[in-house]
Amino acid sequence: MSEKRALTFSYDRASDVLYLSFGEPVPARSESLYNDILLRYSMQDGSLVGMTIIGYHEMGGIDALLGRLRGFVDGLRIPLLSAHTDELREAAPSGTAG
């Protein structure tokens, strides 16, 4: 049985950057998946503990993000991310950023 971690997020509308965290904050290292998606991995056990999405609204929001991550998500906490799509849509609704 896998450990269930809470998803927390914040959206910086002015910069169009979405910050996602899985569980409590821990020391982490970052790795670029794409030019606009950074993954944060725990220094302790290497598990995915967060993501930073640059240009979140510009890329098309949560549906576009999940589509871009589809090939990468096996074994990650994307079901947790998928469970919060409505909240993420509210954080960065469709329309112009700003």
75 pLDDT above the threshold of 60: no
More confident residue, 86 or 66: 66
Q: Report pTM.
A: 0.71
Q: Residue 30: its pLDDT value, please?
A: 93
Upper half-sphere CA count for residue 78 (Cβ side, 13 Å): 15
Q: Residue 90: its pLDDT value, please?
A: 75
Rounded to whole angstroms, how far apart are CA atoms 81 and 14? 23
Give the confidence band of 98 by pLDDT, cuts at 50, 70, 90.
Answer: very low
pLDDT tens digit sequence for 10-63: 999 999 999 999 888 899 999 998 889 999 999 999 888 999 999 999 999 888
User: Could you write out the DSSP letters of every residue in 41-81?
Assistant: EETTT--EEEEEEETHHHHTHHHHHHHHHTTT-TTSSHHHH
